[in-house]
Structure 1
Amino acid sequence: MSFSTTITDKLYGKTNGEEIVQYTFTNKNGMVLKVINFGAAITNLYIPNEQDNIDVVLGYDNFEGYESNRCYFGVVVGRVANRTEGGQFNVDGKSYQVTINESHRNNHLHGGLRGFDKVVWKSEVKDNSVIFTYISADGEEGYPGELTTQCTYQLTDDDAVVLKLNATTTKPTPVNICNHSYFNLSGKKSSIADHSLMINADAYTPVKENLIPTGVLCPVDGTLFDLRTPVLIGDCLQGVGGFDHNYCLNSSTLTECAARVSHPNGLVMEVYTTQPGIQFYSSNFLSGVVGKNNVCHEKHGALCLETQNYPNAVNEESFPEAVIRPGQVYDHTTIFKFLRN
C-alpha cells in the first residue's frame, strides 16, 4: 500500500468541555475520508465520479447528531460489538453481568449504554494515519479488566480505507470491536435493493427470536442466504424479511475478498478483513431516521458489513475464541476498497 494523503483537522464540536476534532484525509485521486474523535466515527466518505463526489456513508451534519446516534452511524462499537444474550458470560469460572441496553430482547448490544461509540477518544496524527486511543476502565459497563484500544485510520493512493483495531487488557475479558458504517453506493436517499452483494461464506449463523445465534452453523447452499455469487439484494430481501445475520467467512486474510458490493452507477466496494465473520445488516430499523442534509432515511436505505467475531461468541464454545488475556493483543484489520466497473 502506498500513501500520498494529506490530513487536515478542524474543531467539530465540544462535549463536557472536551473538544471534538474532525480529521480530513484527501488522496491523490480526490477521494476524501472524514473521521472524528467521538466514537472514532467515519462521518463522510466521498468517492469522485464524473459529476461530483458521492458521499457513500450515512451520518449527520453536525456533532449533536453523533451524541445521540441511536443507529450507530459510522462509529466504532465495543468493548463487545453485536449481541450478548442476557448480558451474561463466564470467564475462568467467574460470572459477569454487563449492561442490558436492548431491553425488549434482554440483550447487551454494542458495548452497552456508554460503549466506545459514545466516548471521546484521544487522537494524534502520525505519518499517514490518524490514531485514536481509548482506555476503558476495569468494570466499565460490567466488563473485567482495563482495556486499552487503538483505532487507526488510513487512506491509500488506490482508494482504500484501512482500519486497524488493537487492544490489550489487564484481566481476561471478551473483546469484539468493529466499525459500524452504513453504506449506500448511490450516495442518495434510496433503497439498497438495486445493490448487488457477494459474501464469501459457505455458512451463516441462524438466529432465535431475540436475534441471538442458535449456536449452529447453517450451510447457505440452497437458501436465500447464499451470497457466494453476486445477488441483487432486492431479490432476496422480501423472502428473508431483512438481514441481520452473521456470515462465517471462508477466509480471514487480507488477500482474499470477504465481501463485494456494486451499484448500477459503476461504483464497487470490496471488503477485506482478518476477522472470522461479517454481520450483514440491511438497515431493518432505519425508517424515519433523519441524517445529513435533513434526509429522512427509509427502511433498507443502507447496508452494514460489520467485520467481527460471531455474535454471542463468549457463550458458544464452538464459535471462535472471544476472550483476550493479559499479554495478548486483540488485532483486527479491515479494508474497504473502492473501484469502478
Structure 2
Amino acid sequence: MRPPLNYLRTFLCPARITPRLLAVYCFFFLTAITFLAVRMHLKSYVTAALYGIPALVNAAPSAASTSQPSTPSSSGPASDAHFHEYTIKAENITAKIIPYGARLTSLLVPDRDGDFQDVVVGYDDPKYYLHDSETNRTFFGATVGRYANRIKNGTFSIDGHDYHIPENENGGKDTLHGGFIGYDMRNWTVTAHSDASVTFTLLDQGFENFPGDVISHATFSVSTERSAENPKGLPQLTTKLVSLSLTEKTPIMLANHIYWSLNAFQNENVLKDTTLQLPLSKRFIGGDSILIPTGEILDVDTAFEGALDFTEAKLIGKDIEKTTGLCGGGCTGYDTCWITDRPAAYSASDSVVPSVRLASDKTGISLDVATNQGAIQIYTCNGQNGTIATKESQAKRNKAKDGNSGATHVNKYGCVVIETEDWIDGINNPQWGRDQIFGPDDGPVVNFATYQFGTF
C-alpha cells in the first residue's frame, strides 16, 4: 500500500494534467476563494442572508444591460405571482399590495358616514401596472429607488470617483426614480406575510449602473391598536423601507410613491375640497425649469407670494394660480420638496414627527403622516390629463352612495402624491450636509412612515 503522502504528492504534482484533474483544481480554488470572501464580508452579508434568502434565489439578473429603455421583462420575466394581491386587514382598514414594484394598489378606510372608500389611485386589475410601466409610468403606489426623485445629469461622485447612471428624463438631463428600470418595475419577492403585514425583498445587483449591491425590504402593515402615537386607535398604515449596502459605497434613498384621493374621486379634482398642512415646513428646495435643485433653500412665506406656505391648513387650490413655473417651465401646481424642520424638543435628526395632514371635506376623511425623513415631496398630479380611467370598483361605491359615479378619469389636480424622503439630489449638493451615501460598514437605511386615518 502506498503511503498517504505519496497520494498527496501525486495529486499535487501529477505526471500530466488531464481535463478532469484541471476541473478538480478549479473546484478547490474557487471553493477557497469563496470561503475567504465570505469571511471578509461576513459583517456586511449576514443580515442580508438571514432576511433575504428568497430574494437571492429569485433575484432578477444584473441590470448592466438595462441602460437603455426597455420593457419590464429586462428585470426578469413577470409571472402571475408578481401580480398576486396580498391583502392585509385590521379593524376599519384593508390594504392590498403586489410584489411588482412593492406597490400599494388599494386602501379602504371609512368616510364620515361609515362607508368604505378606496383612497389610493391605481388600477383594479393588478396586471395593468405592467401596461402602465410600458406607457405612462405613473409610479402609482410603487416603491421607488435605488434613489428616489431626480439626480442632475445622472452623475454623482463618491470619494473622488465619478459615477454615471442612465438619464431617463428631460432628454437626458437627469435620472428620475432610479433610471429606466427602477425599483417600481422590479419583481420583488415576498419574504413574510401575515393577516396584518407583508414584507417584500429585492436584491439590487448594480441595477442601472449604480455602484455595488443593495438589498432592500419593504414592509406594509395595518393596525388599529391604541398607543402613545395613536391614542384613539385610528386605522393606520405603516410602511418601513429598510436597505443595506452590501459591497460598495452608494447613494440610497427609497420612497413610497402613493397617489392619494381622499375625496375618492367623488369630485373631479382636489382643489376645492382637500386641505393640506405641512406644519414643520417653513422652507423648501428651489428648482429650475426641469425641477432639478438649484442649491437654493427658500422660505415658504415669501416665495411665489406665499403659495407654498402650508404651515396652517389651507385648500390645495387656494393659491395654486400663483405657482406658475414652480413645478417646471410653464407648469402651474406643486411638485416640490418641502424641508421638515424638527423643533428643538426632538433631539434626533431622524425622529418621527407629524409632517403632513391631508383632509377632504367631501368625504370627511383625514390623513396624518408622521415620518423620520428630512423632507416631503408633494405632487398635485399636474401631469395627469384625464386619459387614465379611475377604478371601476370605486365608481361603483360612489354610485351606490349617492347615485353619481364621480370622476371617470384621473384628471389634472385629481390627486396628491406624498413622498417621505430626504432632500432631493442631496448627493450633488454637498453644502447641505445630507448623509445619502452608504457603504458595507454602515447600518441600515430606514424610511419609516405612518399614515393615520380619521373622520371629521
Percent of pairs identical after alignment? Answer: 28
Within the alignment, does 1:39 sit opposite 2:101 as a pair?
yes
- 5 Å-filtered alignment, 1:118-133, equals 118-126=185-193, 128-133=196-201
- Kindly provide the amino acid, as one letter, of the partner of residue 196 in structure 1: T
Deviations 1:76-97 (A, max 9, x none): 0000010101111111111111
> How does the TM-score come out when normalised to structure 2?
0.69
Q: Using the TM superposition, give the Cα deviation of residue 221 of structure 1 relative to its aligned residue in structure 2, in angstroms.
A: 1.8
Q: Using the TM superposition, give the Cα deviation of residue 185 of structure 1 relative to its aligned residue in structure 2, in angstroms.
A: 0.4
Deviations 1:180-214 (A, max 9, x none): 01001011152110211001211001111121111
1:198–1:231: 8 Å Cα contact kept in structure 2?
Answer: yes
Q: Using the TM superposition, give the Cα deviation of residue 322 of structure 1 relative to its aligned residue in structure 2, in angstroms.
A: 1.3
CA distance in 2: counterparts of 1:262 and 1:17, whole angstroms: 38
SS at match of 1:228: coil
Within the alignment, does 1:196 sit opposite 2:310 as a pair?
no
After TM superposition, the structure 1 stretch with the greater mean CA deviation from structure 2, 119-128 or 69-78, is 119-128
- 5 Å-filtered alignment, 1:1-341, equals 16-17=78-79, 19-20=81-82, 21-28=84-91, 30-49=92-111, 50=113, 52-69=115-132, 70-104=137-171, 106-126=173-193, 128-138=196-206, 140-157=207-224, 158-169=234-245, 170-188=247-265, 190-193=268-271, 194-199=273-278, 200-222=280-302, 223-240=306-323, 241-251=332-342, 255-264=352-361, 265-287=363-385, 288-293=387-392, 295-319=408-432, 320-328=434-442, 329-341=444-456
After TM superposition, the structure 1 stretch with the greater mean CA deviation from structure 2, 246-255 or 141-150, is 246-255
Q: Using the TM superposition, give the Cα deviation of residue 51 of structure 1 relative to its aligned residue in structure 2, in angstroms.
A: 5.6
- Kindly provide the amino acid, as one letter, of the partner of residue 154 in structure 1: S
- Kindly provide the amino acid, as one letter, of the partner of residue 42 in structure 1: L
CA distance in 2: counterparts of 1:296 and 1:55, whole angstroms: 15
After TM superposition, the structure 1 stretch with the greater mean CA deviation from structure 2, 122-131 or 231-240, is 122-131
Instruction: Return the structure number with greater strand share.
Output: 1
Instruction: Return the structure number with greater helix share.
Output: 2
CA distance in 2: counterparts of 1:121 and 1:51, whole angstroms: 35
CA distance in 2: counterparts of 1:273 and 1:230, whole angstroms: 19
Shift of the 15–292 alpha-carbon distance from structure 1 to 2, 3 Å rule, reads farther
CA distance in 2: counterparts of 1:203 and 1:67, whole angstroms: 37
Please, which runs of 5 or more residues in structure 1 have no aligned partner?
Answer: 1-13
Shift of the 16–232 alpha-carbon distance from structure 1 to 2, 3 Å rule, reads closer
Q: What's the Cα RMSD here?
A: 1.8
Q: Using the TM superposition, give the Cα deviation of residue 142 of structure 1 relative to its aligned residue in structure 2, in angstroms.
A: 1.3
Please, which runs of 5 or more residues in structure 2 have no aligned partner?
Answer: 1-75, 225-233, 324-331, 343-348, 396-407
- Kindly provide the amino acid, as one letter, of the partner of residue 296 in structure 2: V
Q: Using the TM superposition, give the Cα deviation of residue 244 of structure 1 relative to its aligned residue in structure 2, in angstroms.
A: 0.6
Select the structure of larger CA radius of gyration.
Answer: 2
1:71–1:286: 8 Å Cα contact kept in structure 2?
Answer: no
- Kindly provide the amino acid, as one letter, of the partner of residue 48 in structure 1: P
Q: State how many pairs are aligned.
A: 326
1:101–1:113: 8 Å Cα contact kept in structure 2?
Answer: yes
Deviations 1:278-331 (A, max 9, x none): 001111111122342294211111001100111111100133221111122111
After TM superposition, the structure 1 stretch with the greater mean CA deviation from structure 2, 124-133 or 274-283, is 124-133
Deviations 1:21-63 (A, max 9, x none): 21111212x3111111110000001112326311001001213
- Kindly provide the amino acid, as one letter, of the partner of residue 260 in structure 2: F
